[in-house]
Amino acid sequence: MQGRGAGLAGKVKRAARSALGRKVRSYPLPWPFPLYKSARTPFVPTLSAMQKTRKSVSKRFKVTGTGKVMRRSPNARHLLSSKSRKQRRRANKSKRVDDGFEKKMLACMPFA
């Protein structure tokens, strides 16, 4: 009967072994420290002392004088002959970043 019930005894033995001189990690976080929360939410620094500008963000987004974050519109690069004049005209203008992302973009550009 060495099935699922033996798990607790193994954990106790392992804890006792680590207390008896086995090499234990002295730092609490994995090294190197993770700079992002997850792959799904990029460009969100978690270390508060970090004051570097995310260069990829600063090249794609601009902050206006009133504090709005602007982005370029997609679909303005190639295959323009198949697009209508209205589509091309609107694609040449910059658009405002959504409110949900604006805070993240400003956090990535601390000196903007």
Q: What is the pTM of this model?
A: 0.53
pLDDT in tens, 82-96: 999 999 999 999 999
Pseudo-torsion of CA 51, 53, 54, 56, nearest 10°? Answer: 180
How confident is the model over 3-19, as pLDDT tens digits? 555 556 655 555 555 55
Q: How far apart are the first and last CA of the chain?
A: 65
Judge whether 20 lies within some domain: no
15-46 pLDDT, tens digit each = 555 555 555 555 555 555 555 555 555 555 55
| Total domains, the chain | 1
Q: Which domain, by its residues, includes 34?
A: 29-108
Residue 112 pLDDT level (bands cut at 50, 70, 90): confident
What is the structure's pLDDT at 44? 57
CA-wise closest residue to 42 among 99, 95, 107: 107
pLDDT at 50 over 90: no
DSSP-assigned states of every residue in 21-76: T-----SSS-SSPP-SS-SSS-S----TT-----HHHHHHEEE-TTS-EEE--SS-
Q: Does 34 map to a domain?
A: yes
Tell me whether residue 15 is exposed, middle or buried, using C-beta atoms within 10 angstroms of its C-beta: 0 to 12, 13 to 18, 19 or more: exposed
Q: Does 39 map to a domain?
A: yes
Q: CATH number, domain at 68?
A: 4.10.410.60
Q: What is the mean pLDDT of the chain?
A: 77
67 in a structural domain = yes
Other Cβ atoms less than 10 A from the Cβ of 105: the count is 21
